[in-house]
């Protein structure tokens, strides 16, 4: 069953704009950004995604862990970062269309952080805002069926820009795990997007979400109240476009010889032409 949403004129206009900018970014960056920019964006992605969930490590500490340096901080926070680094270093190992791969990713992400990692929850959960119940997740017995339907939806011919947002929202609505749902939603959206648009692997969407978390949670809440993912769709598409704009603005110059050399080294090429 297809999740409820409508392709409004606003959403269609945003998709068109994003598609055009993706083409422009692809032309500028040949195939992918330089290793230096990719490293910077990976650090921003990991730091921001975990910060949203309450991780207290600074971006310098995350950088230190990525560079295998000794970092002092809460062990739980350090474990979260180390797990996330492994995930983002091995995104190619996960199949966005496979529920089995999805569960394996959660197991890896939450290793050492919870007992039942890699398994759907076996009790009811709700999301509190202060003392107010903001969201009551579906009953536990419905979770396997809802997730199966969600992965069936990923097999449809809907475009990835839409599917990734809808999956992200529906995952947060179902809340299939006792912990790690937000992180999994953001990781899986990236995986869905990179299948069609490899550049999304290097766009720190999480950084923009983290900078204005209220807007993120409002979009989720508004969609809950509306009974469809349209509000969240519009929000995430705006985040995507803003993220591409930032990338384009940072590349408002021709690639230097150093950029080109880094690019070809990253592809394991030993020789290249002056034309390249």
- pLDDT per residue as tens digits for the range 108-131: 999 999 999 999 999 998 887 777
Low-confidence ranges of the chain (pLDDT < 50): 254, 263, 267, 269-276
Per-residue pLDDT tens over the stretch 2-30 = 899 999 999 999 999 999 999 988 887 75
Helix, strand, coil proportions of the chain in percent (round to 5)?
65, 5, 35
Unique residue bearing structure tokens 């030993």: 270
- Residue 132, SS3 per DSSP: strand
Unique residue bearing structure tokens 């600074």: 58
Beta strand 132-136 with 126-129 is antiparallel
pLDDT at residue 272, rounded to an integer: 45
pLDDT at residue 14, rounded to an integer: 97
- Residue 232, SS3 per DSSP: helix
Enter the CATH code of domain 9-266.
1.10.3290.10
Long-range contacts of 40-44 (CB under 8 A, 24+ apart): 41/202, 41/203, 41/204, 42/66, 42/88, 42/202, 44/204, 44/206, 44/207
| pTM metric for this prediction | 0.88
pLDDT at residue 275, rounded to an integer: 41
Contact 232, 219 (CB under 8 A): yes
């Amino acid at each position: 069953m297809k999740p409820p949403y409508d392709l409004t004129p606003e959403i269609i206009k945003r998709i068109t704009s994003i598609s055009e900018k993706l083409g422009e970014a692809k032309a500028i960056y040949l195939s992918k950004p330089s290793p230096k920019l990719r490293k910077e964006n990976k650090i921003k992605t990991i730091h921001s995604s975990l910060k949203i969930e309450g991780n207290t490590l600074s971006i310098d500490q995350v950088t230190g862990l990525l560079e295998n340096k000794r970092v002092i901080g809460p062990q739980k926070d350090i474990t979260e970062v180390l797990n996330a680094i492994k995930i983002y270093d091995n995104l190619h190992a996960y199949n966005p269309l496979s529920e089995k791969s999805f569960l394996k990713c959660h197991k890896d992400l939450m290793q050492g952080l919870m007992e039942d990692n890699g398994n759907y929850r076996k009790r009811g959960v709700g999301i509190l805002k202060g003392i107010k119940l903001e969201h009551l997740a579906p009953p536990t017995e419905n979770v396997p069926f809802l997730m199966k339907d969600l992965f069936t939806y990923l097999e449809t011919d809907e475009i990835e820009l839409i599917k990734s947002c809808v999956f992200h929202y529906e995952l947060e609505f179902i809340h299939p795990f006792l912990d790690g749902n937000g992180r999994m939603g953001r990781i899986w959206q990236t995986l869905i997007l990179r299948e069609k648009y490899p550049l999304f692997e290097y766009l720190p969407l999480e950084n923009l979400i983290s900078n204005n978390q209220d807007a993120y949670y409002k979009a989720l809440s508004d969609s809950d109240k509306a009974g469809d993912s349209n509000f969240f769709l519009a929000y995430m598409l705006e985040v995507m476009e803003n993220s591409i704009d930032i990338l384009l603005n940072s590349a408002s110059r021709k690639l230097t010889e150093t950029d080109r050399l880094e690019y070809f080294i990253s592809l394991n090429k030993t020789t290249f032409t002056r034309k390249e």
